[in-house]
Amino acid sequence: MTSSAAATSLSSHGSARPIVEMTAHELLALQERGELTAVAIAEAFLTAAQQLEVHLRSFLWLDAEEVLRQAQAVDLRRRSGQPLGPLAGIPVAIKDVLCTKGIRTTCASRILANFVPPYDAHVIERLKAADAILFGKTNMDEFAMGSSTENSAFQQTRNPWDLQRIPGGSSGGSAAAVAGCQAPVALGTDTGGSIRQPAALCGIVGLKPTYGRVSRYGLIAYASSLDQIGPMAHDVTDCALLLQVIAGHDPRDSTSAPLPVPDYRGRLNEPVRPLRIGVPREFFDKGLDAEVESLVQQALRQYEKLGAKLIEVSLPHAPYALAAYYIVAPAEASSNLARYDGMHYGHRTRHKADLIGTYAKSRGEGFGKEVQRRIMIGTYVLSSGYKDAYYRKALKVRRLIKQDFDQAFEQCDVIMGPTSPTPAFRIGEKINDPLAMYLSDVYTVSCNLAGLPGLSIPCGFTREGLPVGLQLLGPPFSEETLLRIARMYEAVTDWHTRRPKLPVPPSPVTS
């Protein structure tokens, strides 16, 4: 592979750093000043991705020729003086649950192993219009069902900070790709914490937008009333940049909110003052790792130093959120995944059978154990005689959870607490204990049930060098305020600037 630039460049602070360790906004500035080309950026990240993939296993698909073709097109337009989009020349890794026209989209499932969508998801259309470089499809838990990316049918993604540990899930491939400097930014999806939890465990920033802020058109559904697409990045500024591009109304999605999109970056560095932070007592209970609690408390004290007021609030129905989520989400999954029957598209068994036998064998061969488990749970709670006892009761609890948040936000501007109860755990540690795995989402699922925006930012490292995330939750459509509040903390700390030391660093790209 040849290059038109070296693999290092000057950052905004004037110091030489590897291209792959830079943020998207730094790379944009260097291109605008003529100090870097889109091709040089693409080659640097392709080299890093290829060299580190043997360790991280972040990608299910990455076409170097296609990446370079996109980058060359951006450089040609820049040289000819044509206007360029807000993400021109920036590689964006894509979670493999988003439809990409002509490119295989598998949801990390055997049942979709050879599915090639005939259209792009709305967010992919937005990225293309912004002149971003589509940089491969990332690994995930099958159909976004999991908290560790161990449920992928194809490979195990590893945490860049400790290769023996999970990266979180279900957007583990996207989180590992960004944290491991294989891509500067990525898209993930969040149904019960699948952006925020892996962001926390990999030491990056992850934003789950308000339900309806980003169109779900072309997102292969897990639980339609909970799923949202959002950005994952090294810092808050990059999150704002990516959200700016993908947010907005889309008439093809009936749940898309017809609301104007704020300028997320415009006021990003304006602190929110006065700032009232709600600290839920339910988020600091048994099950919370002592080091995680200590680092989160230190972050809260830092906010106090910045002038914020801490207010204890209560979310009395939070202890029931996990149970409600694992009824509502599987129920919707049972309905959504019924379309995979081996008839129209996706895997079809080679065993000869009648209609019902073909359904059963196709699904049995195509779906993994966790997907099958959730389909069975969902089918059970929707079945005659149990729907009232389980599903409808869970919907009532969901409404009470939303009311708890509404009441809490009357007292505060933002709610803060841990993103995950523990740092990243070891691969295989919880895979055979579904309940222990589900508890990884204990602080994140309520946000989805209530349809709120949620943001995770890095707030420190454990003694073993594992990242910890601070979660910020806001009222509906308060992403602009959440990003500003997160930036207040980021401006006085350096957690977001740290990068893992991986076994095989990216080789220099010669001129």
Q: Which DSSP category does 380 fall into?
A: H
Q: What is the DSSP string of 421-459?
A: SSSPPBTTSSTT-HHHHHGGGTTTHHHHHHT--EEEEEE
Helix, strand counts (H, E) of the chain: 15, 13
Query: In whole angstroms, what is the distance from residue 123 CA to residue 95 CA?
Result: 11
- Asked if 194 is an active-site residue, the reply is yes
Give the max Cα distance, the chain.
70
Site of tokens 């890095």: 458
194: cis peptide before it, omega within 30°? no
3-state class of 258 per DSSP? Answer: coil
CA pair distance 175, 59, nearest whole angstrom: 11
Rounded to 5°, angle at Cα 145 from 108 and 179: 70
Residue spans of beta strands (DSSP E) within 69-192: 91-95, 133-138, 185-190
Contact 167, 416 (CB under 8 A): no
Coil, helix or strand at residue 279: strand
The catalytic residue among 3, 9, 152, 170 is: 170
The candidate with the shortest Cα–Cα distance to 441, out of 219, 202, 191, is 191
| Cβ proximity of 478 and 488 under 8 Å | no
If one counts every other C-beta atom within 10 angstroms of the C-beta of residue 54, the result is 9
Of 3, 9, 11, 95, the catalytic one is: 95
Q: How far apart are CA 89 and CA 47, in angstroms?
A: 16
- Would you say 411 and 276 are in contact if contact means Cβ atoms under 8 Å apart? yes
**Which residue is catalytic, options 9, 152, 171, 194?**
194
With residue 280 as reference, give the H or E element that holds it.
Answer: strand 276-280
* Distance in angstroms (rounded) separating the CA atoms of residues 44 and 334: 42
Residues taking part in catalysis: 95, 170, 194
